Amino acid sequence: MTLTNFKTDALEGLCTQEQLDLLDAFDTLRSQGISHYISLPQIIIASELPSLINEINSKINSCRSQLQKLGDPRATLDEQRLYLLHISQVFQTLVKAAVDGTYNESFFGDAKTDDGYRKRIRAVIQYLNQKFTDKIPHRGHFRHVL
């Protein structure tokens, strides 16, 4: 009895036929040069790695810019409350200016642009009221009498 036969006989007692077939397939791959099958994924990974690195760097830069927009970190509860108080005061000032029609803040932008005009609440409401007033005499009745 040779060593190969002994190995085969021992494995047959311990393994199922499917497992033995799998071992044979591994032996075949090993004899054909498994290094080819291992190097292929490495080549694919190496070709995709630069674009992956660029994508990760882009996402990191995006996160950093978003963090900068948020300002300094507010770790304590008092810092968070103070920040929220400040934001609410700025909001209140903007709303009051919009309602009063004093558009001195940079938030309101240029009135000649669509975006700037839409932020001028009082002017928009006056315009809509005027359009409504113009339409009421023509379309504001329930019945039409001839």
User: What's the whole-model pTM score?
Assistant: 0.45
Cβ–Cβ under 8 Å, residues 97 and 104: yes
Q: Compute the residue count for the chain.
A: 146
Report pLDDT for 1.
Answer: 45
CA distance 24 to 7: 13
Q: Minimal CA–CA distance to 125: which of 137, 133, 113, 115? A: 133
CA distance 29 to 36: 10
Q: pLDDT tens for residues 9-35?
A: 555 556 666 666 766 776 676 666 655
Q: Which region among 6-10, 24-28, 62-66 has the lowest average model confidence (pLDDT)?
A: 6-10
